Every structure is written in structure tokens, then in C-alpha cells.
Chain A
Amino acid sequence: MLIGIVFIISVGAFYLIHLLPGDPAAVILGTGDSPQNRARLFKELGLNKPILEQYFVWIKNVLHGNLGTSFISQTSVWSTIKSALPIDVEIIVLSQILAFAVAIPTAMVSARKPDGWLDRLLGATSFTLLSIPSFVVIVLLVLFIAIKLGVPHTGVSSYVSLGQDWVVNLESLALPSFTLALGSFVVYYRVLRSDLIATLQEEYITMARSKGISQRRIMWRHAFRPSSVALLGTAGVNIGGLLAGGFIVQYLLSIPGLGYTLIQSIGLSDYLVVQGIVLVVSVGVILINFAFDLIINIVDPRISRE
């Protein structure tokens, strides 16, 4: 099943990029060069072969762990991905920690008194956040925090890896992480809130109450776990989406993550880099969802028993 999905994605990734206008020869040689030179370069790069054959050459190398070498920069695709991927991972991890840390307590506050003034306030806030796209949020944040407040290293391409200088690193990734966290927070808050409200109606919550334990303990020990199945499922899909969809934020801030690299490579018709990134991201998305499915089975033993 997993292999099947990856195969389909590999075909799609390969075929779609070849459908786009433009080709690497045009980028390397410029548009004014002679057809002879173009033909020679095509042959050199292996682009003169039938497309099906090109695909099999590529997939055979991929299966041997070789993603190829960029036509343009002549560096190996794998090393390009290896230097960009940690940025994506870090932004996603930071944004998810932030989103969960805010969404879980606020959902509990809301669910305690549904339709109370706090619940209404949080509901209205979350809807407002939901309706502002991330590219607007990031531009506003850059404007106010990076430019008006003059916080250094924010929102500019001053990326430094975590190992080199973690303060500068966190500063430069704070804005994109925060932006992605906002979108995730809204989704998590809404999913968890409605599940908590349903769970709190259950008889076992009344039974927990009859033991004389605190409201706080009832929330965390009795209501949270059975209410978190949909939350985890949503998080799996959402994080996969962030891996693929954090591109806009990266592009706007010139942060050299996978998204930024991918968009640049598409512009340069750098076929092998694009194919490599799409394949790696797809496998990542599948693995993340698989991992969340496993977590859900542990959190709710009823699911694996059925």
C-alpha cells in the first residue's frame, strides 16, 4: 500500500515537471544559443531519450539511494535536501509545540462552559484567525516586529543553523513558526473543543466527578485522552500539509528550507531537484500520518480492538 502510493507520487512528480514549459538547457545556455549546442547538452543530460526511459533511469537510481545531481548547480540532490530539510523540521516542530500548548488549555476553558463568554470570545478569535491567510499574517509580522520594532535577524534571510548559534537561529525562525502555529492552533482548538464538550457529557465523567476529584483532574485525566483521537488525526494531516505548505512563508522570508528550494528549482527547470524534493516530502507526509495512526491506537485502545 505504502509502496504503491510512493510509486504513484514518483510518476506524478516526474511527469508534471516535464509538462512545464522551459527546460534546463534553456536555463544553462540562455535562449540565444544555437540548436546544435542545445542538442548536445540535451544528450549530455540524458534528456533526448524517450520520457518513459528517462523515468526508469531516474527511478532505478532512486531505488539505489541516488537522487542524482542538479543540472544547474552540479551538486548532489541529496545534499541539497539534507541541508534544507532541518529548517522545515525545526519550523514545524516549533509551530506545533506552540499550537498545542495554546490550543489544549483554551479548548478546555471553552469546553468547561460552552457558550459562556470565554467560549464565545475564543470562538470569535479563532474564526478571525482562520480567515486571515498565512501570507498576510507573515507580512504583517515582518512589518511590525522586524521592521517597526527592529528586532534583529527576524524575517530576513539570515538563517543560521541551530548548532551554530541557537539564539540567532530561533530569532530567525520565530516568525515563520508563529505564523504556521496560528493556523494550526485554530484547527486544533476547534477540533478538541467540540470533542471535549461531547466527552464531558459522558457517564464516566459523572462517575469521575462522583469520586470527589478536582475539575482540573477530570479534564486532564478523564476527558482529554478520549477526546484526543480526532485531534491527533487532524494533527497528522495538518503537519503533512505544513511540510508541503510552509512554502509560501519560507519564500516570503527567503528562508532556505525545502519549500524555498523547491520553488527556485521549479523556476530553473531543475528537474532532478524538484523530483527529489517532491518524493522526499511525500514519503515524509506518509510516514507522519502513519506515525499518528500508531499514536492514536495507543491513545485509544478501543480502535485497535475493533
Chain B
Amino acid sequence: MSDATTLLVVKDLATTFQTPSGPLPAVGGVSFTLKENETLGIVGESGSGKTVLSRTIMGLQPRRNVEVTGSVLLNGFEVVGASEEAKRAIWGLEVAMVFQDPMTSLNPVMRIGKQIDEILRVRLKMDRHAAKARAIELLELVGIPSPAERYGVFPGELSGGMRQRVVIATALAGSPKLLMADEPTTGLDVTIQAQILNLLQSVKDQMSMSVVLVTHDLGVVATRTSRIIVMYAGRIVEMGTTRDVFARHRMPYTRALLEGSPKVSNPSHTRLLAIPGRPPNLLDLPQGCAFAPRCSFATDICRKERPELEPSFEDGHAFACWNPLPVSQGVPA
């Protein structure tokens, strides 16, 4: 993997929304790289900036009242500051997104086949018959039974899991090099969740893509990613190989997340440890570490000064904490 070429370089990325109550820094100071064929997990609670980050990476943030600074180099293309027209050239073909909620991300009055073959016809200039044949192939690839008949149905005639398969087929239509999966299983039943995640894994291998898997559920990323970024209040608080983040994490927030996710290996009736307090209001961030008000290890410096992301072990592990956990404190994956 170390020889693989770099597909994505994100540097000092910041996304700020202009709101009536002032600027809202949704994402700040984010830097990381992603190699070809790699799967990266982005983990954090609701409101930690994961979705905004994933959209900003592909330049898909809202067009108005947003300011993006820093740099996103996607296969040599600078996304930040690029015009909508320039970004259209990479959307769908270089980078595609699997959206969070299949109940809202498919057009309810457009036949699903038409939604899939739009990229084929408009972007790849395929003729109608070739596009339809390819769309049916894609439906089959994502595991939709009798794909030729399903080509003409409306999204409302499909279950949530089937709809998410359609969303994935749509994202795959342009054979992108990078697939952004933004909480692809949040709106689905638990049994369907595993199916969709396995599907993503298998299409990634078949089409040799890189995947950014955004989730609030560490269980989702544990076995499916090679590296993990943990986000809090719009910033990276810890990152590293999946193994390191699970086994040797240093940031108390990472541990809190791990303790808050259920594990099959736990004895039944094990209490899940909820993280006390709420994620901070991004319009009114605390002066020091954003996690300090909820952290049991917080000291004076945590409340005064924000810790920077410091490298610790090899393999790109880094964390932002004044009072990191000792290495032995890790919870095994």
C-alpha cells in the first residue's frame, strides 16, 4: 500500500457558513491524504462536521453563504475555489457520492433507470440503448433482483435498502476513482446495513476505487477501513491506521466513542457509556479544546488553549490533546 499513488491531498481545509447569527466554522484545519484503492473512515458524532467535510472535499457545499479555504487536490484537480462549471467535469466521473438517506436522495418522480443512466447519457455520451443496458448491468451489480424490470420503477416502489442500492449504482455509473459514502447506512435496518456495507466493499474491490466512509458508528469502520479520522466540532482530533485508533488511541474523545458503540463480544445487558453533555455549539466554541467541557481529563490548559494535532507513532498516527491517555489505556478492537 505504501507504493500506491496518492489520489487525494487535503490541506488546511476549512468550511465556514455565513449565518444570520454570525460565521459558523463547520470544518477547520483538516489535512490528510488518501491513496488509491484505500478506504478511509471519518468518524464523529452528529454535528461534528463529517458530512460538511465530505461535501467540501468534492466541492459540493451549498453555493451560497459558504466560504471554503485551504486546498483539496483530487487527482491533480484543485477543488477549492474551482467554479461550478469546472467542478462539473470531475463530478460523477472522478468523484461520486453515496448519499445518507435513500428516502430523500432519489428523485421521487423520476424512474430509477433514468436516474442511473443520466451520467451515462449526459456525461459519457452513450446512446439510449447502450446506456440502458449499462444501467441494468449496474442494477445487477448492486444486487437488485430482476434488474431489467426494476429499471422502469419509481423510487417509491422500492424498499429503503433497495433504494440505497440504486443510489450506489448511480454513484458507480461514471466509474469514479473516489467514492464518498456519507453515512450510507444510517437510514436503514440493521440487517440491511451490513449488506450495504459489504456491497460497498465488494464494488470498491471490483472497480478499484478509493472510498471515504463517513459514519458515526465505529463498528462500521472497524473492519472495512485501513485508516480512520476522528472528528469533533469540525476538527480532526485523532487519526491513524484503523488498528492504532482502536488499540492505541490517545484522545479521550476517541475512547468515549469506542465505549459508546455496542460490541457483539460484550456480555448481554452491558451498559453503553454515553458521552456526557452535548456537542458544542459551533457558533460559540469554547476557547480551548472543544471537547474539554465534556472531558473527565480536562485541566486548565485544555480550557485556555486549543491543542494542535501532534504526530505520535509511525504510520501517520496523530492526536490533538493536552492530556492524552497512556498508550496501554487502549480498548482492543
Contact = CB atoms under 8 A, between A and B. Distances in A.
Pair from one complex: yes
Interface of A: 202-204, 206-215, 217, 221-222, 225-226, 299-302, 305
Contacts of A226: 107-109
A211 B170 contact: yes
B89 A299 contact: no
A-B residue pairs, 5 tightest by C-beta: A212-B91, A212-B92, A203-B104, A212-B88, A211-B92
Nearest to A113: B64
Contacts of B108: 204, 226, 300-302
A300 B123 contact: no
Nearest to B87: A212
Contacts of B89: 212
Given A202-B104, A203-B99, A302-B156, A212 B90 contact: yes
B97 interface: yes
A212 B83 CA distance: 12
Contacts of B87: 212
Interface in B98-138: 99-101, 104-110, 118-119, 122-123
Contact of B107 (A204, A210, A217, A299): A204
A207 B119 contact: no
A204 B105 contact: yes
A209 B92 CA distance: 9
Given A206-B60, A214-B88, A222 B123 contact: no
B93 interface: yes
Task: Sort chain B's interface into a size bin.
Answer: 20 to 34
Interface in B11-32: none
Contacts of B122: 211, 213, 217
Nearest to B171: A210
Interface string B62-104: 0000000000000000000000100111111100110111001
A211 B99 contact: no
B82 to A, nearest CB: 12
Contacts of B93: 212
B58 interface: yes
B154 interface: yes
B106 A210 contact: no
B138 to A, nearest CB: 14
Interface of B: 58, 60, 84, 87-93, 96-97, 99-101, 104-110, 118-119, 122-123, 154, 156-157, 167, 170, 174
A226 B104 CA distance: 13
Given A207-B105, A300-B109, A305-B156, A213 B60 contact: no
A207 B97 contact: yes
A300 B105 CA distance: 16
Contacts of B110: 221-222, 225
Nearest to A204: B107
Contacts of A300: 108-109
7 contacts: A203-B104, A207-B97, A209-B91, A211-B91, A213-B88, A213-B119, A214-B88
Contacts of B106: 204, 207
A113 B100 CA distance: 26
A210 B58 contact: yes
A202 B99 CA distance: 12
Nearest to A208: B107
Looking at B96, B109, B119, which has the most chain A CB atoms within 10 Å of its CB?
A: B109
Contacts of A203: 99-101, 104-105
* Most chain B CB within a 10 A radius of its CB, from A204, A221, A300: A204
A208 B104 CA distance: 12
Contact of B154 (A211, A222, A301): A301
B60 A222 contact: no
Nearest to B90: A212
B93 to A, nearest CB: 7
A280 B106 CA distance: 44
A212 B105 CA distance: 15
Nearest to B61: A206
A204 B104 contact: yes
A213 B107 contact: no
Given A203-B99, A209-B91, A210-B58, A302 B109 contact: yes
A34 to B, nearest CB: 71
Contacts of A301: 108-109, 154, 156
Contacts of B119: 211-213
A41 B123 CA distance: 79
Given A203-B104, A209-B91, 14 more contacts: A203-B105, A204-B106, A204-B107, A204-B108, A209-B60, A212-B88, A212-B90, A212-B93, A212-B119, A213-B122, A217-B122, A221-B118, A226-B109, A300-B109
B109 A225 contact: yes
A210 B156 contact: no
A211 B156 contact: no
Specify which of A209, A222, A302 lies most central, judged by the most chain B CB atoms within 10 Å of its CB.
A209
Contacts of B174: 211-212
A204 B162 CA distance: 16
Nearest to B167: A207
A213 B118 contact: yes
Contacts of A213: 88, 92, 118-119, 122-123
Nearest to B58: A210
A300 to B, nearest CB: 5
B123 A211 contact: yes
A225 B115 CA distance: 14
Contacts of A225: 109-110
A299 B88 CA distance: 29
A203 B115 CA distance: 14
